[in-house]
Amino acid sequence: MPGSVSGWDLRRSLVITIAVASLVGIVLAALRGPLAGTSESLWLLTWLAWPVVGWMVLIRRPGNRIGQLSLAIGATTGLSFGLPSLGLDMAPAAAWIELTYTVLGIAPWLLMLAVLNTFPTGTYAGPWEARPGKALIVVGLWALVGFTISPEPLVDTGVDNPLALPELSGRAVITNESGFLLVLILGIGALARLHRRGRRSSGSERQRFRWLLLGGAMDAFAEALRDRVDPTEVSDGWRDVVAKTIQPDVIAVWVRLGEVAA
């Protein structure tokens, strides 16, 4: 018993450490990163919900896969957005910093697809559900390799990729519009399967789907408004005001989902 208690304390400490580090990275990005002082800085803060939800679920249900995925989304978001806030004028480290956060930046989106593919249990319902999950792993590894060896100059610093392999540039096709289309197709498929599982659910499981739907709908509405706002401005009239008003509510809904899931 003492060993299990000690193991649980260690896991809980690790969960809390990752969650806090994720929150710090996201807040730093909103205050000091490239998007600081723009309307997009509030969008960054909506990512705060992921490490909080992951922490809430894992503290109550250690080993829960949805909690692990949520915490991983928060951690990779905190790193990918937080690293640029350190400054990119530290040559030659600047190139390595940008390459790191560029590669890490794809992880939250792929992890969100993993959540959609397995929500609310964290496991696949059957072999037909597992196949898209395997496809997601392939796409994720492909994107990781593609961004790492891409011969294109790094966007923020404008310097050459230190790990570029021009002779393998064909492998980096995932980094352009084709890759985005592939992820979009996987996302649409994940939403379709999520809808099917939601219709078949009942009881407390259906309640989780309802909170997920509410949070997703509110977030989508806020994003639609924000798309009409000039990202270089702090405010752009009523659309920006409404979007900023909704975002804290979106975070609250995701946190409530974490409570229900736990």
Q: How would you write 40-99 as a 3-class SS string? A: HHHHHHHHHHHHHHHHHHHHHCCCCHHHHHHHHHHHHHHHHHHHHHHCCCCCCHHHHHHH
Least confident of 6-10, 114-118, 154-158, 191-195: 6-10
Average pLDDT in the 77-84 region?
A: 86
Higher pLDDT, 231 or 81: 81
Does residue 120 register a pLDDT over 70? Answer: yes
Does residue 101 register a pLDDT over 80? Answer: yes
pLDDT at 4: 53
For the chain, the first-to-last Cα distance in angstroms comes to: 24
Flag whether 48 is in a domain: no
Quick one: pLDDT band at residue 1, thresholds 50, 70, 90?
Answer: very low
Share of the chain above pLDDT 90, in %: 2
Does residue 234 register a pLDDT over 50? Answer: no
Average pLDDT in the 110-122 region?
A: 84
Flag whether 42 is in a domain: no
What does the alpha-carbon distance between residue 250 and residue 257 come to, in Å, rounded to a whole number?
11
Token pair for 81: 């957005």
List Cα–Cα distances, 221 to 119, 233, 248, 262, in angstroms.
22, 20, 13, 27
Flag whether 43 is in a domain: no
Flag whether 152 is in a domain: yes
Share of the chain above pLDDT 70, in %: 73
39 neighbors 26 (Cβ within 8 angstroms)? no
pLDDT at 75: 92
Least confident of 49-53, 84-88, 197-201, 250-254: 250-254
Q: Which domain holds residue 134?
A: 91-197
pLDDT at 236: 46
Does residue 235 register a pLDDT over 50? Answer: no
pLDDT at 246: 52
Does residue 80 register a pLDDT over 80? Answer: yes
Flag whether 185 is in a domain: yes
Token pair for 232: 């270089």
Higher pLDDT, 177 or 40: 40
Tell me the longest C-alpha to C-alpha distance in the chain: 60
**How many beta carbons lie within 10 A of that of residue 143, not counting itself?**
22
- State the total domains in the chain: 1
Average pLDDT in the 83-103 region?
A: 74
What does the alpha-carbon distance between residue 78 and residue 23 come to, in Å, rounded to a whole number?
7
- Across the chain, mean pLDDT equals 75
Flag whether 129 is in a domain: yes
Least confident of 61-65, 90-94, 235-239: 235-239
pLDDT at 72: 92
Torsion of CA 48, 54, 59, 61, to 10 degrees: 160
Flag whether 138 is in a domain: yes
Torsion of CA 192, 111, 141, 168, to 10 degrees: 90
Average pLDDT in the 36-62 region?
A: 79
What does the alpha-carbon distance between residue 9 and residue 24 come to, in Å, rounded to a whole number?
22
Flag whether 244 is in a domain: no
